[in-house]
Amino acid sequence: MVNSKIQAAEENLIHVYNRFPIALDHGEGMYLYDTEGKEYLDFAAGFAVSGLGYDNKELNQALKDQIDKLYHTSNLYFHESCGEAAKELNRISGMDRVFFTNSGGEANEGALKAARRYAYTKKTGRYEFIAMQNSFHGRSFGAVSVTGHDSYREPFEPVVPGVRFAEFNDLDSVKALVNDKTCAIILEPLQGEGGINLATQEFMEGIRKICDENGILMICDEVQCGMGRTGNMFAWQGFGVKPDILTMAKAIGNGIPVGAFAMTEEVAKYSLQPGDHGATYGGNPLACTAVKTVIEIFEREDIVGHVNQVAPYLTKKLDELVDELDCVVRRKGKGLMQGIEITKPLAEVNKKTIEEGLLIIQAQGNVIRSVPPLIVEEKHIDEMIEKLKRALA
């Protein structure tokens, strides 16, 4: 239980989060510990952020060294870490030009602006966006405007105009919305918040084709599914369907607040120009050191290879749950971004997993999301399944 001092501090915050009654203190590898020393196996990774888990000594040291040298300068000046992080992120994401933001929502915000700016230069008169039902793109105005859940948008209307929603994985529903005003189509190749829904190969290829045939930009939001989670460095690579604009955040900084939107050279040529966009903190030396070091560790330790090695075991274990337990309806997702749809009330189950010492997250459609740090091993999966079974009993 959270002590009264920590609980009292909550009264100073705007109440937008329903917190569990535990206060986390420190972490190591796959585990987090609360202020009372209780251990939690982490299958949430702080919302798919902590890909390398906790207390990675190499990352910690790189960040500490950078803090001691310099951690903010503004974007008026060059900083070596920024160029290096950009080069490396472009290399692994297959993009050509990148802009660093402080979050995923801000990355999508920038991507939408970049798409409109492209249309403006080309004088196409295109400004509409097609987004997907059940999508999640963040909480800023642009991002909620393309988020396919009424509850995220309605209290804030009117939101950004010119957005139409298609059914995810239904190409005809997308085609029905395309017109000569369509500027970009935005989608998550694997929807997270919306219930762990994987795009079909046909859908990804179909969207690419619609975009190519109509002069529309394809934006992939890989804020959650990117950075190794699906068994490819970025999910689009698994489909072989390259977007024009790619957004990233969450795991690219392993928890240091950093996001990015990136684009191909072809888009960059006509898109944002000097003065069009900016961020005071965006891509500061600390954030860029995080990105650069995270990529170094990912490649040296072949994290993507590890994901491909361990993910089939997670799949097998979750499939067994579906067979064994009546309250588990189906398994969804790919790699280390999977979920199970259950019939029991999620909130109750989640309360029990906390008691069991297991952190999971919920997703739409009564889905328990399993997005552990990517360093997870089979023994952790066994431990998770045991705890989850007891919570579902």
- When binding is defined by CB under 6 A, the residue of 86, 132, 204, 223 that contacts ligand PLP is 223
- Burial pattern 232-255, b for ≥16 Cβ within 10 A else e, equals bbbbbbbbebbbbbbbbbbbbbbb
For residue 302, the tally of other CB atoms under 10 A from its CB is 12
Is 50 a residue that touches ligand PLP (CB under 6 A)? Answer: no
Closest CA to 202 of 229, 240, 231, 246: 240
**Which of 110/391 has CB closer to ligand PLP?**
110
Do the annotations mark residue 221 as ligand-binding?
A: yes
Is 34 a residue that touches ligand PLP (CB under 6 A)? Answer: no
- When binding is defined by CB under 6 A, the residue of 97, 137, 292, 332 that contacts ligand PLP is 137
**Residues paired with 101 in a beta bridge:** 259
**Which of 317/338 has CB closer to ligand PLP?**
338
Do the annotations mark residue 222 as ligand-binding?
A: yes
Is 103 a residue that touches ligand PLP (CB under 6 A)? Answer: yes
- Whole-angstrom distance, CA of residue 167 vs CA of residue 89: 31
**Residues paired with 36 in a beta bridge:** none
- When binding is defined by CB under 6 A, the residue of 193, 244, 341, 356 that contacts ligand PLP is 193
Closest CA to 207 of 1, 23, 199, 246: 199
> 271 and 114 in contact (C-beta within 8 Å)?
yes
> 192 and 369 in contact (C-beta within 8 Å)?
yes
Please give the size of the binding site for ligand PLP, defined by CB under 6 A.
15
> 215 and 126 in contact (C-beta within 8 Å)?
yes
Question: Minimum CB separation from ligand PLP for residue 224, in Å?
Answer: 3
Is 224 a residue that touches ligand PLP (CB under 6 A)? Answer: yes
- When binding is defined by CB under 6 A, the residue of 34, 128, 188, 341 that contacts ligand PLP is 188
Do the annotations mark residue 139 as ligand-binding?
A: yes
Is 360 a residue that touches ligand PLP (CB under 6 A)? Answer: no
Question: Minimum CB separation from ligand PLP for residue 95, in Å?
Answer: 17
Instruction: Put the strands of the sheet holding 358-359 in their side by side order.
Output: 24-28, 31-34, 39-42, 358-359
Do the annotations mark residue 280 as ligand-binding?
A: yes
- When binding is defined by CB under 6 A, the residue of 27, 53, 105, 148 that contacts ligand PLP is 105
* Cβ neighbours for 5, distance < 8 A, ≥ 6 positions apart: none
Chain residues 257-276 in contact with ligand PLP, contact rule CB under 6 A: 259
Is 229 a residue that touches ligand PLP (CB under 6 A)? Answer: no
Is 249 a residue that touches ligand PLP (CB under 6 A)? Answer: yes
User: Which residue in the shown chain puts its C-beta closest to ligand PLP?
Assistant: 104
Closest CA to 168 of 368, 364, 369: 364
Is 287 a residue that touches ligand PLP (CB under 6 A)? Answer: no
Is 136 a residue that touches ligand PLP (CB under 6 A)? Answer: yes
**DSSP readout, 319-386?**
HHHHHH-TTEEEEEEETTEEEEEESS-HHHHHHHHHHHTEE-EEETTTEEEE---TT--HHHHHHHHH
Binding site for ligand PLP (CB under 6 A): 103-105, 108, 136-138, 188, 192-193, 221, 223-224, 249, 259
Which amino acids are annotated as binding site for N(2)-acetyl-L-ornithine, given as ranges?
A: 139
